């Protein structure tokens, strides 16, 4: 997704892949569930969250993509939405890039 230089409201660095993956997340001793609704190389958006962690809080998000074991994302809460929150990864890695690429492939297969 290309950024429009004249649009200051577009703060995203990377294109987002729309998903619908169930997730479990934890912030310290607090845990919640939600749906990973989009993901990119730099962050992810969780909606339908049962707990809205505070901004700046470190998070672990476990994404359930059948039939494989949950994929773990680690990041910091950077934004709240009406129904959830967004995280930015602490250290984007090659493993995260592969997961995002795999999510894009799954989404494309489901559209076909």
pLDDT given for residue 84 in this prediction: 97
pLDDT by residue (tens digit) across 70-102? 999 999 999 999 999 999 998 879 999 999 998
Q: Where are the beta strands (DSSP E) in the chain?
A: 17-27, 30-39, 43-47, 58-64, 71-80, 84-89
Distance CA 34, CA 95 (A): 22
Task: Tell me which residues of the chain have a pLDDT lower than 70.
Answer: 1-14, 109-112
Distance CA 51, CA 59 (A): 12
Domains of the chain: 17-111 (2.40.10.220)
- CB 23 within 8 Å of CB 61: yes
pLDDT given for residue 6 in this prediction: 38
pTM for this structure? 0.81
């Amino acid at each position: 997704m290309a950024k429009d230089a004249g649009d200051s409201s577009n703060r995203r660095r990377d294109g987002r892949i729309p998903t619908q993956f169930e997730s479990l997340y934890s912030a310290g001793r607090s845990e919640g569930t939600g749906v990973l609704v989009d993901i990119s190389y730099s962050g992810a958006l969780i909606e339908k969250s049962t707990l809205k962690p505070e901004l700046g809080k470190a998070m672990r998000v476990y994404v359930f993509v059948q039939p494989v074991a949950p994929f773990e994302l680690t990041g910091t809460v950077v934004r709240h939405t009406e129904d959830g929150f967004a995280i930015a990864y602490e250290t984007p890695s090659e493993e995260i890039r592969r997961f995002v690429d795999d999510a894009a492939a799954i989404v494309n297969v489901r559209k076909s």
